[in-house]
């Protein structure tokens, strides 16, 4: 029997789209064997094959299941996970730096001047509920941060500001 020709399988599950599958002997920890299709290109497993359809000579000559594909996949997965974690740390660092810069800006006289101008413009009335006294100025956008147009800011009370930023509570 050639590598490309083997008996009908017991199942119809395919693990990859590759057209070449070869029978491989898979030995379990208890010493028992099973025959499965394995793609020689990507290493993915396929259907289980009936052992009874193979002669003992075919089974003895059959190559063992090749785990090197799985090991390479695991190494690639680990590399991708490490890249993701590095990128996540970089995003967290950038966010921390952005937040520190923002907080430093909120302590400047220029911000206090803008905040006061917005509170006066909105008659010290919260523009979120139109009921409570406004205490804070909320950025509608951060596009012009540190050089905001006053129409990019709105006067709000503390409860409405917390509603706008629930993640910061």
Expressed as residue numbers, the domain containing 139 is 108-169
Range name among 14-18, 39-43, 116-120, 127-131 with the lowest pLDDT average? 14-18
Q: What is the pTM of this model?
A: 0.56
Whether residues 156 and 139 share a domain: the answer is yes
Residue 41 DSSP label:
T
- Asked if residues 62 and 23 have their Cβ atoms less than 8 Å apart, the reply is yes
Whether residues 128 and 157 share a domain: the answer is yes
Whether residues 100 and 113 share a domain: the answer is no
Length of the chain: 169
Give the CA angle between residues 25, 55, 20 to the nearest 5°: 50
Q: Which residue reads 């299941």 in tokens?
A: 65
Whether residues 117 and 162 share a domain: the answer is yes
Nearest to 135 by CA among 154, 152, 158, 117: 158
Whether residues 45 and 98 share a domain: the answer is no
Whether residues 3 and 27 share a domain: the answer is yes
Whether residues 99 and 156 share a domain: the answer is no
Whether residues 155 and 127 share a domain: the answer is yes
Integer Cα distance of 38 and 35 in angstroms: 9
The pLDDT-based confidence of 143 (bands split at 50, 70, 90) is: very high
Say if 71 falls within a structural domain.
no
Per residue in 71-122, pLDDT tens?
Answer: 888 898 999 999 999 999 999 999 999 999 999 999 999 999 999 999 999 9
Asked if the model's pLDDT at residue 23 lies above 70, the reply is yes
pLDDT at 169 (0 to 100): 66
């Amino acid at each position: 029997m050639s590598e490309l020709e083997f008996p009908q399988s017991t199942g119809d599950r395919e693990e990859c789209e590759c057209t070449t599958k070869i029978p491989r002997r898979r030995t379990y920890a208890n010493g028992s064997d099973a025959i499965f299709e394995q793609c020689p290109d990507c290493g993915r497993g396929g259907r289980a094959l009936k052992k009874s359809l193979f002669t003992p000579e075919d089974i003895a000559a059959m190559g063992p299941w090749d785990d090197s594909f799985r090991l390479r996949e695991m190494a690639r997965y680990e590399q991708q996970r490490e890249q993701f974690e590095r990128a996540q740390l970089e995003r967290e660092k950038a966010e921390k730096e952005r937040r520190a810069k923002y907080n430093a800006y909120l302590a400047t006289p220029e911000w206090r001047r803008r905040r006061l101008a917005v509170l006066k413009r909105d008659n010290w009335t919260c523009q979120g509920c139109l009921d409570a006294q406004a205490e804070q100025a909320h950025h509608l956008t951060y596009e012009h941060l540190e050089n905001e147009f006053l129409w990019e800011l709105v006067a709000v009370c503390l409860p409405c500001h917390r509603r706008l930023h629930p993640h910061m509570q």
